[in-house]
Amino acid sequence: MASLEQYQELVAALQGLTIEVQALKTENAALRQQVVLCRDDQGDLPPMPLTFGKYDGYPGGLKEFLDACQVHFIFRPYAFETARARVGFLVTNLTGNALAWATPLVTRNDPALSNYDQFVDLFKGRFDRPEVLYTSLEAILDVKQGNTDVQTYISRFLRLAAKTSGRFS
């Protein structure tokens, strides 16, 4: 059986916890108000840009780009609650060939815009081609000067680089 002193200690601890809970509730309410004040007229939070830049369709950067987007989704779940919001974030961070690929989907309001996994599958189907990157780099590395003069070598290298860069689009 608990003594009177133990009982009083428990009551005091409970009162202390009650005060702490109330303080946390007040702080939570203040933080929620700050989030509301940050929202724009449509209720959306301001965009959080990718720190490393936009994705242009270059095969070597696709995984890093999708990983960076995933980090944003994890750390700002309230901003990306829907698949459409996640796809929208991804599309707004595209440029070059990748944006040119996505624009018709947006223009015709493709159903994939509302299904993140489906959109990423389509996106990967178009841009996740490591064999293209490997083959192109391999071809460039195989260019050798041999017995040709430097000007011929440079000319040949630039022609091959231009030809292989077309494989990325």
Q: Which of 23, 42, 24, 45 is closest to 34 using CA atoms? A: 45
Number of other residues whose CB lies within 10 A of the CB of residue 93: 20
Q: Rounded CA gap, 87 and 60, in Å?
A: 21
pLDDT value at position 17?
Answer: 83
Element (H, E) at 105: helix 96-107
* 112: CB partners within 8 A, 6+ apart: 87, 105, 118, 119, 122
Q: Rounded CA gap, 91 and 20, in Å?
A: 44
pLDDT value at position 168?
Answer: 42
* 7: CB partners within 8 A, 6+ apart: none
pLDDT value at position 75?
Answer: 82
* 16: CB partners within 8 A, 6+ apart: none
Q: What is the pLDDT of residues 2-50, one digit of tens each?
A: 788 888 888 888 888 888 888 888 887 776 666 555 555 555 555 555 5
pLDDT value at position 169?
Answer: 41
- Report the DSSP beta bridge partners of residue 18: none
- Which residue is associated with the tokens 């009083």? 8
Crossing angle, helix 83-92 and helix 96-107, to 10 degrees? 140
Block means of pLDDT (10 residues each) for the chain, length 169 residues?
Answer: 80 86 81 58 55 76 88 85 92 91 93 95 84 53 65 73 54
pLDDT value at position 134?
Answer: 46
